[in-house]
Amino acid sequence: MFRLFKRVVRTEAVFALACLLFTIIQVWLELKIPDYMTNITKLIQTEGSTIAEIIKTGGWMLLCALLSLICAVIVGYISATLSSRFSYKVRKRIFGQVERYSLNEIKKFSTSSLITRTTNDVSQIEVFIAMGLSGMLRSPVMATLAISKILNKGLEWTVLVALEVAFLLTIITIIMILVVPRFKIMQKLIDRVNGVTRENLTGIRVIRAFNAEKYQLKRFEKENNKLTGIQMFNHKILSLIGPTMNVVMHSLTLGIYIIGAILISKAGMLDKINLFSNMIVFSSYGMQVIMSFMMLSMIFMMWPRVSVSVGRINELLDTKTSITEGSFDGKTEESGTIEFKNVSFKYPDADEYVLKDISFKANKGETVAFIGSTGSGKSTLINLIPRFYDVTDGEVLVDGVDVKEYKEEALYNKLGYVSQKAFIFTGTVKDNVSFGKINKHKANMEKVKDAVKVAQGKEFVEKMDKQYNSHIARGGTNISGGQKQRLSIARAIARNPEIYIFDDSFSALDYKTDAILRKELKKHTKDATSLIVAQRIGTIMNADKIIVLDRGECVGIGTHKELLNNCEVYKEIALSQLSKEELENAA
């Protein structure tokens, strides 16, 4: 907890000290009230006392209560502010850390777990800090000062309070032993419930299409029942605290008055007044001691779950990305060149290589295509260029410089990436097309329109209600798959990079749109290098260079015509899609 606190707290130390100061003042004022009660008791029982003296003492008591209330409000405000700022900084730190992760680290933590750690786990810590500052600081101070007040009031009463505190702590310890292990399990179960829920919402169309609602409900019920069972056990055990507190407080009050009655009955007249006053004071201070330990125990009861949350957050923050940023600023003599030198790659913890000894070079203005059967390593290969993963062996050079030497921003500024799965963000058409501009400013409307026109999206965009300012739902659920792909392509075009990477980005387009788009794209990107991963022969047959992959190995490099004559793998793929006559005419 302290390690996490140290990570995000700097100026908040001042707030914490102020909170401690006002807590001490608040407790001191509260403990002055029983002293005034004692004085009032003595004044009432002393001959010659006046009403004015009693009212004056009562006035001081009310003033202490008012000032204590003001201090309590200040402490509450400071603790709420500090806990909120703390959770804000932790969430920001987690988000920034995850943003720096490579795909290797992203896969280590499930999406549902990352969401839970950013929300539920941080909220647990926030509540703990808010209660801790007002309770954890107050309880030790209150207990210490209250005990110091009652030590000289009577040995019998002191022993009674000590026994009650020991009993309370014993019960709390037993409860903690029972619930601590289950809190750790509970947070993992929350991850799993979130995972099932998220999967259900993401795949709702498929679930309904296959009438799998009952199956999904059973999956959810299974995980939900496990979580509910753990929570019910914890709440049942924790519910013992209330009755235990009542027993302790009432037995303490009863014990104090029984002991007081016995002592008063055996004392003389003058001693009876002092004993009666001490009994009233001891009853008040004793309750303060018990309530202090009770509040402290409640904080400690929260700690097991909070400690699990702290551990999960520290696990995120301690996980270093396997991809370290270089220092090169991206200024090179070459422009738009990509070279793979004896590149081999295997995923972390995997035994077999996904790519083996791949070498080729793409020069400025060239269109290089990659084709192969499913699982041959096409997408993996181009994912090495933006360093989603780092090569296991060999080098990937962009403009003659190893990608490992680039600053991440400098490298990404050279690339226009269109992913295999077209991802659309919540916002407008313009927001999505102008997303991530190099100059940090949104592209103007003319550039957006030009990019959409090249991507063959003008027709459907201008039919929308607000055209380029039309709303796009999260994930692009209110537009078709082909429309999402065209907006994704437009997003890369608007970036105007040196190198375009298209990872099977034309698969949702019909052949006519595909052909027109590639023709317009070729005109628009004539000075840029284009890398295209595709399954269709028709999409890549006009490429300057085609690289054929089979089981992670390069089995052919050349033009469409050359590969038909000397690469059996390419010929098989081509014949599976087009007739022999169509291939000959195309060649």
What is the residue range of 251's domain? 2-318
Domain membership of residue 38 (yes or no) is: yes
Give the pLDDT of residue 166: 81
Taking the C-alpha atoms of residue 277 and residue 579, their distance in angstroms, rounded to an integer, is: 108
Cα(238)–Cα(373) distance, integer angstroms = 59
Cβ neighbours of residue 199 closer than 8 Å, sequence gap 6 or more: none
Burial state string for 285-302 with b = 16 or more CB within 10 A and e = fewer than 16? bbbbbbbbbbbbbbbebb
CATH of the domain at 168: 1.20.1560.10
Is 328 inside any structural domain? no
- E strand or H helix at 372: strand 367-372
DSSP H or E run through 307: helix 269-318
Residues 134, 165, single domain; the answer is yes
Q: Assess if residue 12 is contained within a domain.
A: yes
Helices (H), 203-240: 204-209, 213-238
Determine the pLDDT at residue 537.
78
Considering only CA atoms, which of 386, 322, 384, 326 is closest in space to residue 353? 384
Q: Where is the domain boundary, 496, 529, 559? A: 496
pLDDT along the chain (587 residues), means of 10: 55 70 80 74 70 82 86 83 83 83 75 79 82 70 69 70 79 78 76 81 78 84 86 80 78 79 70 67 72 71 75 81 77 82 83 84 86 81 85 86 84 83 80 65 70 80 81 78 82 83 76 76 80 80 83 84 81 74 59
CATH number at residue 560: 3.40.50.300
Crossing angle for the helix pair 155-202 and 241-266, to the nearest 10 degrees: 170
The CB density around residue 421, as the number of other CB atoms within 10 Å, is: 11
Write the pLDDT tens digit of every residue in 206-225: 887 778 788 888 888 888 88
Strand pairing report for 529-533 and 367-372: parallel
**Pairing mode, if any, of strands 401-402 and 393-398?**
antiparallel
342 and 470 part of one domain: no
Angle, vertex CA 548, rays to CA 543 and CA 553, nearest 5: 145
Interatomic CA distance for residues 24 and 15, integer angstroms: 14
Three-state secondary structure call for residue 448: helix
Pair (188, 264) in one structural domain: yes
Phi, psi values for residue 352, rounded to 5°: -105, 150
Q: Say how many C-beta atoms besides its own lie within 10 A of residue 88's C-beta.
A: 13
Residue with tokens 């029942």: 225
- Residue 154: which of 31, 246, 280, 8 has the closest Cα? 280
Tokens of 407: 């600053």
Residue by residue, what is the 3-state secondary structure of 407-442?
Answer: CHHHHHHCEEEECCCCCCCCEEHHHHHCCCCCCCCC
Contact 150, 161 (CB under 8 A): yes
Answer whether residue 326 is part of any domain: no
One domain, residues 288 and 370: no
Residues 462 and 544 occupy one common structural domain: no
One domain for residues 218 and 229: yes
- Residue 419 in any domain: the answer is no
DSSP characters over 199-211: HHHHTHHHHHHTT
> Is the CB of residue 86 less than 8 Å from the CB of residue 12?
yes
Pick from 496, 512, 540: which residue ends a domain? 496
Q: Could you give the CA distance from residue 202 to residue 572 in angstroms, rounded to a whole number?
A: 37
Same domain, 451 and 563: no
Are 232 and 281 in the same domain? yes
Q: Does one domain contain both 338 and 398?
A: yes
Specify the amino acid at residue 578. L
Whether 324 maps to a domain, the answer reads no
Question: How confident is the model at residue 268, as a pLDDT?
Answer: 61
Residues 377 and 347 in one domain: yes
> What span, in angstroms and rounded, lies between the C-alpha atoms of 200 and 109?
19
Alpha helices, H only, 109-154: 111-116, 122-131, 138-150
What is the token pair recorded at 373? 């059967």
Total length of the chain: 587
3-state class (DSSP) for residue 455: coil
CB atoms within 10 A of CB 197: 15
Sheet-wide strand order for 415-418: 401-402, 393-398, 338-345, 355-362, 553-558, 545-550, 367-372, 529-533, 499-503, 415-418
Query: Rounded to 5 degrees, what angle do the CA atoms 237, 238, 241 make?
Result: 110
User: Of 318, 346, 368, which one is at a domain's C-terminal end?
Assistant: 318
DSSP string of 330-366?
---SS-S-EEEEEEEE--TT-SS-SEEEEEEEE-TT-
For residue 109, the tally of other CB atoms under 10 A from its CB is: 19
User: Count of domains in the chain?
Assistant: 3
Same domain, 503 and 462: no
- Whether residue 342 is contained in a domain is answered as yes
> pTM for the complete prediction?
0.68
Residue partners of 117: CB distance under 8 A and separation at least 6 = 94, 109, 309, 312, 313, 316
Distance (Å, whole) CA 184 – CA 311: 10
Cβ-Cβ contacts under 8 Å for 67 (sequence gap 6 or more): 25, 29
Tokens for 282, please give them. 């001891």
Whether 502 and 530 have beta carbons less than 8 Å apart is answered as yes
Neighbouring C-alpha atoms within 13 Å toward the C-beta of 490: 30
Encoded tokens for 327? 């220092």
Q: What is the mean pLDDT of the chain?
A: 78
Q: Is 269 exposed, middle or buried (0-12, 13-18, 19+ CB in 10 A)?
A: exposed
Q: Give the contacts of 134 (CB within 8 A, at least 6 positions apart).
A: 19, 23, 75, 76, 79
- Residue 133 in any domain: the answer is yes
Burial class for 452, CB neighbours closer than 10 Å (0-12, 13-18, 19+): buried
pLDDT of residue 269: 57
Beta-carbon contacts of 95 under 8 Å, excluding residues fewer than 6 positions away, are 118
Q: Are residues 234 and 214 in the same domain?
A: yes
